[in-house]
Homo-oligomer: A and B are copies of this chain.
C-alpha cells in the first residue's frame, strides 16, 4: 500500500506541472488532487511501461518503482 508521506517527499518533480498542491497551473495538465488512487497507480504504470504514451510523462515515470507509484498515488489522492 502507498505511503502518502513518502509520496509527498517524492512529488517535488511532479509539482512543476501539476502544482504544489496537485492543482495544475496550466489548463493542458491535469489536476491530481483528490484523483482516484487506483486510477493514478494505473496511469503511472501505463506511462512507465509505455501503454500510455506521452513524451513528458514517459521519462518521468520510467525510473519509478511500484512502491514509488503507490506512494505518489496515496499522496495525491489524499489531497
Contact = CB atoms under 8 A, between A and B. Distances in A.
Q: Is the interface of A mostly helix, strand, loop or mixed?
A: loop
- The number of times this chain is found in the oligomer is 2
A43 to B, nearest CB: 8
Interface of A: 24, 26-31, 34-39, 42, 51-53
Given A28-B42, A31-B35, A52-B53, 14 more contacts: A24-B36, A24-B39, A26-B36, A27-B36, A27-B37, A27-B38, A27-B39, A28-B36, A28-B38, A28-B39, A29-B39, A30-B36, A31-B34, A52-B52
The 7 closest A-B pairs by CB, nearest first: A27-B38, A30-B39, A28-B38, A27-B36, A30-B36, A28-B39, A31-B35
